[in-house]
Amino acid sequence: MIKGTTKLLGVIGHPVAHSLSPAMHNAAISHLGVDFVYLPFPVKPGDLKAALAGFAAIGVRGFSITIPHKQAILPLLSSVSPIARAIGAVNTVYLTDKGWCGTNTDVEGFLAPLQTPVYQAKGGSDWSQKVAVILGNGGAARAVVAGCAQLGCAEIHVVGRNEQNLAEFQQSWVNSPMPVQNLQVHTWDNLSMLISQANLLVNTTPVGMYPQGEKSPIPAGALDRISAGAIVYDLIYTPNPTQFLKDAQLRGARAIDGLEMLVQQGAAALKIWLDKESVPVDVMRQALRQHLGLD
């Protein structure tokens, strides 16, 4: 029940009608019995500054950010966390006495399933001898690189199509607030060799996303070189599982889909907004699965 005392949270983007965040967050809010509501706010690129002023005026406590505002909002914030600076994007904003502050919970979301007992049990939690291979060098790849650096991976390899873009991607981490020294970049020509070395293989590209769910970012034959027991992680959550994950599982790899990252990054944001140490992650996950028709 929305009342005059109900505090506002939300997500901004353009478009934003497709966002799954309201289903996930409102399920958690209802379960907790707190006087909040989470709403989608369509904000055009030229209206971002006005939207921030309006949100402050009506007492919005915080909001998520999706395309196209993740980078554009950086200069409009009072402070930005080191992790968001390193990634170059903000996905979570919260209000303080000093104004709007931005952070990025995608790294926490990416890492959460890798740090659960089921994935730590085989091979342990020591990543210092392990190799990560990341497909794609866009915004999502930046969060994954930061996550792999936090894990302490021995080697981090990023695979892309454009050599200049790859060189710029690598250079951007040299003077970053979170420097990554063990990062190497490659064109797709080297993929087969890299897959044979990978303990963790992550797809950050949109290839295989609905409605092209039959596609995979790499040919099934190239996956023949994946080690049994390696972790294959796809940031895509529809379809579930993706063709990429199905091909990997057939070869003995362990699969993680993008739904878990979506849930966990949302849970990390909700903890900030509600100032709580824990939120009902299971409730959030189940709400998303039902919304996507996976149950």
Side-chain-side CA neighbours of residue 59 (13 Å) = 7
Is the distance from CB of 74 to CB of 52 less than 8 angstroms? no
Convert 153-191 to b/e letters by CB count within 10 Å (16 or more is b): bebbbbbbeeeeebeebbeebeebeeebeebebbeeeeb
Residue 49 falls in the annotated catalytic set: no
- Could you list the beta-strand ranges (E) of the chain: 7-13, 36-42, 62-65, 79-80, 92-96, 99-103, 131-135, 155-160, 183-187, 200-203, 231-234, 254-256
In the block, residue with structure tokens 């505090």: 7
Catalytic residue among 44, 70, 98, 122: 70
186: phi then psi, degrees, rounded to nearest 5: -145, 155
The CA distance from 229 to 22, in Å, is 35
User: 232 Cβ partners below 8 Å, 6+ apart?
Assistant: 201, 202, 226, 244, 245, 248, 249, 253, 254, 255, 256
Q: Which residues are part of the catalytic machinery? A: 70
